[in-house]
Structure 1
Amino acid sequence: MQYSPLEPESENYGARGIAGLCRFGKQLQTAALGPTEFRDDQKVQMLATYFDTPFDPGRRLQHQIQERLIEAILDGVWPLHEPLPATRVFSSEIKVSRNTVAIVYERLVEDGYLKSVSRRGYFINERHIREQLNIRVDDHAKDILPTAEHPFNPQAFLTYSYAAQENISKPADWQSYPYPFIYGQLAPDKTSVARWRDCVRLAGTAQHAPTWIGDLVDQDEPMLVNQIIRRMLPQRGFRAEPDEILVTVGAQNALFLVAQLFCRPGVRTDMEEPGYVDTRNIFQSFGAELKYHPVDSNGMRVGDELKGARLVYVTPGHQSPTNVTMSMERRLRLLAHAETHDFIVLEDDYEHELNFIGAQKPSLRSFDRTGRVIHVASLSKALFPGLRLGFIAADRRIIRELRALRRLMYRHPSALDQRAMAIFLSEGHYDSHIRRQRKVLSQKWKKIFRLIETHLPTCQATVTTGGSGVWIRLPERIRAAELQSRAARQGLLIEAGDDRYFSPNSPRNRIRLGFGAIAEEKMEPGIKLLGQLLADSR
């Protein structure tokens, strides 16, 4: 088999092409000089360094072998004129089954990295690799490329700096903390993980694939919308038609869409204090004029101070971050003010299912008779927070506008994820998951209040009816941010509440303990440690 050196016109490459050819070019040149004989043991040794690291038992073995072989091919360590090691030799060297290696080779042939030659074996597909690396830059273009003499300053072009906002900060490695009282994360439910995997696999079959292969443009997966209407909304106390539902990439994306539609400079937007930082930042980014309303044991205070607002954001189910539930009297009063003073209510019901005392309270949307309530919910927060699926239920005229806006942003959420979620809901897995979550979290909820009473006698915990976190008032002289730093050094992860307040001279002695992710047996030693840190502060 003969190979020719690079054609003259192939010598002009961009950055990616140059980087690739630096690795692969030597093998192209070696191939042009003629074949070189290698023993099987030498061939395998050339790949050995790519398999020194042990395989990850949590990932599929075939995928890991394929990744490492592709890396070796692109690094140019294998001669083009020599077949890859025989499956028997290679499998013995890396200590896997011969069938596994054979499957990987066939997949690399399908993907174009290898080519199969009858009776000789598997060879690197030179043409395919060169097509990937061959990014040309015309000679005349090189003369007008920009230089460092004219540096670029992106800050001069920004109309608003999102990076400069004060954001909620949580360690990415929170799982490495012995006592992670972090809010917004959950301990993995192995049963739900297995059932979700089955639903994703089922969604990928020939029966369901036609529903997500094509572009939905601005539409949602009909099966998921139907499941939301049939299974989710009745628990929240209201009904809706398909054109009154919009699927989003999580509840936060829903909040952003609503804010973009209704917020602008000069438009007053009211919200709770303490409140959800990201929502405050979203409203600010669109130039809204913000007004804050205090929260007590019955939720946000509602009165004539709401006059003049155009949008009022509330978290009535479990107020963020205090977790208190808005009383029925205040819910009805809020809706009355909305009609009297002509404003829209943005209801964030992100944690509706996690109520442990009494019956579930109906949502604000269930009492809405004028179409002023925009109901935002999460499909994934209580299931898998990283899944990022949610929905909006609102007046069809509002949904029509939001749908057109969403189309400009990302058209629609993943249709595959939507179909998998629809299957998950239809087969009853979501309801089963919520029952298990409620059982586990209710036990933790009861326990953490007992532990606070026992080990944190100088602190005051806000009484709630459920949720996955507890809001705590520290002694007046204790500063939450300092306590958070000292606790982290001891492996105890807590959340200072400073950034949940937006007005000047706000309290600085509030913390939140999330108990969704921490193992129940770690709760008591963690709370004891927190009590010791508080005692040391005194």
Structure 2
Amino acid sequence: MLQHLLVLEANTNISLQQQIKQKLIEAIIHGYFPAGSKMPSSRKLAEQLDVARNTVVFAYQQLTDEGYLISKERSGIYVSDNLQSHFEQNPPAESSEDKCHWKNRLKTPTRSKLPPPYPDNWQEYPYPFIAGQFDLSLFPVNPWRECSRLTMNINEISTWASDSGSQDDLFLIEEIRTKVLPRRGIFAKPEEILITVGSQQGLYLLSELVLNPQTILAMEEPGYPGMRQLAEHRGAAIDLVKVDNKGIQVDEINNHVDAVFTTPSHQVPTAVTLSQSRREQLIEKANEHDFIIIEDDYECEANFVTNPHPAIKSLDTQGRVIYLSSFSKVLAPGLRIGFMVAPAEFIKAARSLRSLSVRHPPANNQRTMALFISLGYYDTVMRKLNQTLQLRWQELREALNHYLPTAIVTSHSVGGSACWIKGPKHLNSQQFAAQAAKNGILIESVSRYYGDDRKPEYYFRLGVSSIEVDKIRAGVELLAQIFWQNQETELEQLPANAQKLNTEQLADFIANCEFIGRTVFGEPYRIKLESDGSMQGWEGHHNEKTDQGQWWLEGDTWFRQWQHWSYGEVLGFNIAVLGKQIFWLRDGKLVDSAFYTQKPPVAPSENMPGLIKNQ
């Protein structure tokens, strides 16, 4: 091997000894000889290079003198363990300038690379609130191993090991067609399905086929940056369309666009779900104005509050919707198996284009995935995954509502693996994320999702797919501490004319009160206090969640303790009122507010002059 690694030149003025020395330094620098590894003996290296032994001995001696190698008595020559400090003191010479001028040879302009949403070593952080990666404990090791083993028996090998041209595994196509797509309301023929190396390859193929400098693509804003970069790569004009709590604003889509890209199930990155009425409106508008819809059905089955809406593709009667989905987010991001559903003519063109770079995704992986679905493992994993994500999602909601009730507002979401959060308008999410990372917390600043340069900097995102449920509360508590310690963050302030209640006023006011407010997720809650010190709470549009607890007064502080909400902790608040609003303060900071009613009405008294005045 060394005679290929250390190629000596005959027609040169550089001596063999110097050539060997230079080649060995290059091999050490590039890791071919790692620190601490044993070098070949001088005799063996001389034989392999066909040079005199003394030539190698002298080269070794020079490298030893310069700190690259060390000699161990009766053991041999080794690469130094202290190479790092050696390189700091004696940096290696810079490589010669590229004479080929590759920058000038590249015919396709490269796009600016977006910064990664999280570091490569994210698993080393104690609180990784990131999306797009799964906790390793969720991977179905034994079922996947069984399907992989079945794929390797003789009969199965004969079906996938031969060259099938650009055709996909018909077994996998049939499993997707009959077991996966019907759950989304989609019924397709085999020739209308293409297997892809993840959804991103599908997006690349369709962008090559339908986008060019003469086309206009409407995209969600904020939206998936991978699609935006593909459109820019093709030179297409991008029309950014705002997203609200019901998804992309269909009314704002220009009638003259050629295509619309949307992530309707859980919009990337806000996680809101496109309403059924807007899905119908979008397909009607596409039919009327003759544009196509690119539906990236991200996290389509991760709904924890309501049943998922049927895919937009299920409403398609004119062949205008190109549907993409992936198994990678369900099983493991590194699996890279996705699929595309579209009219047969489009699939034929996409298959032909795909064959220019890769004939098909690895056939053994396709067969393993087909077996995984056919044996029922896919359904089992989906149920387990949804149960796990639901627990984490609910735990995150509880923690945010407990530790940051007035500081943030979250998007309206019915599921998914991430939470889109709006902070105070002067919050710099990139600085906040950097500060959190120093404390072992990974959150995602979201500027990469915006196509408009005038993007807001006060949004950030928390994911739950990579953090264990029992770490979520501690992580949010620490994140809240970092948030509150940020002296530059001007939080919501108590109105100047609000009346803080003293002991006597509080005693007259608080009994028989009922509070009506909203959680950080925008869901209504109602709390009813009884004169006997008990209280009841309801949360949700249909009072889905309820709890009971106790309240009491100590001086001018109102205390409450729920059985389950707020982790059952005893919390004390000072109270202020203004009109029909009540404000809760802790340590002088406003932590929550709501509207109140009193039953029966409190009669005017001398103990409540401030309250009577504000009412």
Q: Scaled by the length of structure 2, what TM-score is found?
A: 0.65
The alpha-carbon deviation at position 12 of structure 1 amounts to 8.0
Secondary structure of the corresponding residue to residue 256 of structure 1 = helix
Q: What letter corresponds to residue 411 of structure 2 in structure 1?
A: T
Q: CA contact under 8 A between 1:452 and 1:461: conserved in structure 2?
A: no
**Aligned with 2:435 (options 465, 468, 486):** 486
The alpha-carbon deviation at position 204 of structure 1 amounts to 1.3
Q: RMSD of the TM alignment (CA)? A: 3.1
- Regions of 4+ moved over 4 Å: 10-13, 17-20, 22-26, 28-32, 147-150
> Residues 25, 254 of structure 1: CA spacing in aligned structure 2 closer, same or farther, 3 A cutoff?
farther
1:396 maps to: 344
**Aligned with 1:463 (options 412, 415, 435):** 412
2:368 maps to: 420
Q: Scaled by the length of structure 1, what TM-score is found?
A: 0.74
Q: CA contact under 8 A between 2:139 and 2:331: conserved in structure 1?
A: no
CA distance in 1, matches of 2:142, 2:177: 25
Q: What letter corresponds to residue 472 of structure 2 in structure 1?
A: M
Aligned pairs (5 A) from 1:216-365: 216-303=164-251, 305-365=253-313
The alpha-carbon deviation at position 197 of structure 1 amounts to 1.6
Whether 1:531 and 2:548 are equivalent positions in the alignment is no
CA distance in 1, matches of 2:249, 2:239: 13
Q: Give per-residue Cα distances to partners, 1:160-192, cap 9 Å, x unaligned.
A: 443523344320000001110011011124671
Which has a greater percent of strand? 2
2:583 maps to: none
The alpha-carbon deviation at position 29 of structure 1 amounts to 6.4
**Aligned with 1:437 (options 376, 380, 385):** 385
Secondary structure of the corresponding residue to residue 408 of structure 1 = coil
CA distance in 2, matches of 1:448, 1:313: 29
Q: CA contact under 8 A between 2:392 and 2:468: conserved in structure 1?
A: no
Greater relative contact order structure (CA < 8 Å, 6+ sep): 1
1:509 maps to: 458
Which has a greater percent of helix? 1
CA distance in 1, matches of 2:46, 2:422: 71
> Residues 165, 276 of structure 1: CA spacing in aligned structure 2 closer, same or farther, 3 A cutoff?
same
Q: What letter corresponds to residue 323 of structure 1 in structure 2?
A: A
> Residues 411, 455 of structure 1: CA spacing in aligned structure 2 closer, same or farther, 3 A cutoff?
same
Q: Give per-residue Cα distances to partners, 1:360-382, cap 9 Å, x unaligned.
A: 21000000000000000001211
Q: CA contact under 8 A between 1:249 and 1:390: conserved in structure 2?
A: yes
CA distance in 2, matches of 1:224, 1:214: 16
**Aligned with 1:378 (options 317, 326, 334):** 326
Secondary structure of the corresponding residue to residue 398 of structure 2 = helix
Q: What letter corresponds to residue 242 of structure 2 in structure 1?
A: P
> Residues 201, 271 of structure 1: CA spacing in aligned structure 2 closer, same or farther, 3 A cutoff?
same
Aligned pairs (5 A) from 1:24-39: 26-27=43-44
> Residues 504, 12 of structure 1: CA spacing in aligned structure 2 closer, same or farther, 3 A cutoff?
closer
> Residues 289, 24 of structure 1: CA spacing in aligned structure 2 closer, same or farther, 3 A cutoff?
farther
CA distance in 2, matches of 1:460, 1:510: 10
Aligned pairs (5 A) from 1:170-185: 170-185=118-133
The alpha-carbon deviation at position 246 of structure 1 amounts to 0.1
Q: CA contact under 8 A between 2:111 and 2:229: conserved in structure 1?
A: no
CA distance in 2, matches of 1:445, 1:455: 16
Whether 1:209 and 2:168 are equivalent positions in the alignment is no
Structure 1 residue runs without a partner (length 5+)? 1-5, 33-44, 51-146
Q: Give per-residue Cα distances to partners, 1:192-213, cap 9 Å, x unaligned.
A: 1121122112111112101221
CA distance in 2, matches of 1:167, 1:296: 26
Aligned pairs (5 A) from 1:163-202: 164-189=112-137, 192-202=140-150
Secondary structure of the corresponding residue to residue 310 of structure 2 = coil
- Percent identity between the aligned chains? 35
Q: Give per-residue Cα distances to partners, 1:458-480, cap 9 Å, x unaligned.
A: 10111211100000000112111
Secondary structure of the corresponding residue to residue 207 of structure 1 = helix
CA distance in 1, matches of 2:478, 2:214: 48
Structure 2 residue runs without a partner (length 5+)? 11-18, 33-38, 51-73, 80-94, 490-615
CA distance in 2, matches of 1:407, 1:24: 49
CA distance in 2, matches of 1:11, 1:501: 54
Number of residue pairs the alignment of both structures matches: 424
**Aligned with 1:474 (options 403, 423, 431):** 423
> Residues 46, 435 of structure 1: CA spacing in aligned structure 2 closer, same or farther, 3 A cutoff?
farther
